A and B are shown apart, each in its own frame.
Chain A
Amino acid sequence: MRKPQRGPSLADSLTSLPQAKSSDLSLEDGSEIAVIGGGPAGSFFSYFVLGQAKRVGLDIRVDIYEPRRFDESGPSGCNHCGGIISESLVQILAAEGINIPPDVVQRGIDSYMLHTDVGSIRIDTPLVEKRIAAVFRGAGPSGLGESSWSSFDAYLLNLAVSKGAQVRRKLVSGVEFEAGRPHLRSPDGLNKGYDLVAVATGVTSNFFQLIDDLEIGYRPPRTVKTFICEFQLGSETIQAQLGTSMHVFLLDIPGLEFAAVIPKGDYATMCLLGHDIDNQMVEAFLASPEVKGCFPNPEMIPEHVCFCFPRINVQSAVQPFGDRVVLVGDCGVARLYKDGIGSAYRTSKAAAKTAVLHGIAMEDFKQHYWPACRTIAKDNRIGKFIFAFNHLFQGRRFSQRAVLRMTSWEQQKKEGPQFMSMVLWDLFTGSAPYREILRRTFHPSFWIPFAWNLVAAVFSRGGGKKIGRPL
């Protein structure tokens, strides 16, 4: 009897095409990878590079350099972010087998409350299901004692460790090429060479600026300052005041693009995005009646317990890759104003697949990693157009009324398409690409009722009535 031959495995079949290497620089058994930064981009990269390597039978080592401990409360363990995992990312991660545990999700979000100068409206998720996760990137704000919740970044880092990554609690102070390999240096004397260095430092630290020294043609992304703070209100007050809705504000405050109050366990996180947010803009925002209405005593907004002015990526980096070097997450390309963790996932996975299946030369990253970045960058250009258009509406009360009228009408209907609601939902949740949002606004079923509501809003301008329904 002929001995049955073992055919190619599913993994072999799935990876057979891209296994043709396009360069001589590639990972081999025993290759070592350094990942600088243990936030979502670094953890996702490590998780996927180790997973892909295992599928193709490659034995590699991954060291993640991260001096911070995300299980510590306050700035030392924080990654300075609003902490929203978008509806689409929650689903995609679940399909990857990454289910965010309940002790990491501070609050499941099932709706948005849109506040404008002329009223508020609640927009429910189409399935009335909690598919947006509000999380703390670290262990929570300063002064937080014992907590029943865990850090999102610590959860992801542990996932990477479960795949075999090693975490090194060291601060990397420089990267230099020696004999064609990148070497990491640290203030305590580390000088270690790697086959590949993945930089995932975000844009809050200045480390990514050091990549300039490597002369790979990298130019850092353009960034703007934002504002994030935390209010300790207690879970009962948060449930009563904010519920399970993310509160989004489109107010006519110069320079302010978008603001949100996100309910979490015992805290509410407030985020302001725009053109170099300063204290004056924060005070103008807090003084608006729409914001005051979110707090139990509108005349006395409590002092925030923690605040920061982190920077965000608003224009992609130039060439975030070179021979044996790749930059992932915010220090490369990120989605404009939204879903930063989603773009960290996409860019990190694309870089990890490139490294394992194609190679680690500049040409490999250009051919297989850069298209994923370019898709996000192109979409951001459409996003800029949408936000500019949105800004026009934000500054005119009759157009704000028209948006609210149309959304209110759609939300009260039980069935039928909800064009305005879906456009707003995807714009605020970051669930759909900007091109998809723009495409929906070209549909006659969007424009005809919107034109009608614009006309109706012009003639109903005296009312000043709050539109929408309560929480």
Chain B
Amino acid sequence: MKNSALGRTYADKECIIRQGDVGDCMYVVQTGKVEVVREEGGVEVLLAVLDEGDFFGEMALFEQDVRSASVCSRGESRVLTVDKKTLLGRVQEDPSLAFNILRTLSNRIRKLNAELVRARGRSRT
């Protein structure tokens, strides 16, 4: 079924987006896994591992800023690009299309809050 999956194939460790690049697309993992990595002061920190159905790069839809982290393939993966123009054009007609993205962002904020609480707890001790 090599011809059947949608999107583009990325080899192991191949980067789909790079931290600092300007972007205007969101991405959805179709098959395989990808790693979200942020480099800070020469140190790479693994932020998340995303799986089939997960999306990334959505900040580019809402902000005109550079990519905040790199996303690279863990093993071979297949990733679909979602154009900003296509998506936002449709969101104008049907705002509820953004619901799935907002729900995921909301979950991520919840996880970040939990991480922050844990980190502050560690720094106090």
Contact = CB atoms under 8 A, between A and B. Distances in A.
Contacts of A372: 93
Nearest to A55: B99
Given A95-B97, A100-B6, A129 B26 contact: no
| A91, A96, A100, A265: most-surrounded residue (chain B CB, <10 A) | A91
A90 B3 CA distance: 16
Nearest to B101: A95
Interface string B52-82: 1101000000000000000000000000111
Interface-centre pick from B4, B5, B99 (highest chain A CB count, 10 A): B4
A106 to B, nearest CB: 6
Nearest to A133: B6
A92 B86 contact: yes
Contacts of B83: 91
A14 B96 contact: yes
Contacts of B82: 91, 94-95
Interface in B87-108: 87, 90, 93-97, 99-103, 106
A1 interface: no
B28 to A, nearest CB: 4
A99 interface: yes
B4 A107 contact: yes
B53 A97 contact: yes
Nearest to B61: A95
Given A88-B90, A102-B1, 13 more contacts: A10-B102, A10-B103, A91-B87, A92-B87, A94-B80, A95-B90, A99-B30, A99-B52, A102-B31, A129-B8, A129-B81, A130-B8, A265-B4
Interface of B: 1, 3-8, 26, 28, 30-31, 52-53, 55, 80-83, 86-87, 90, 93-97, 99-103, 106
20 contacts: A10-B103, A11-B99, A91-B80, A91-B83, A91-B86, A91-B87, A92-B97, A95-B26, A102-B1, A108-B6, A127-B81, A129-B7, A129-B8, A129-B81, A130-B5, A130-B6, A130-B7, A131-B6, A148-B1, A350-B94
Interface of A: 10-11, 14, 52, 55, 88, 90-92, 94-97, 99-100, 102-103, 105-108, 127-131, 133, 148-149, 235, 239, 244, 265, 346, 349-350, 353, 372, 375, 431
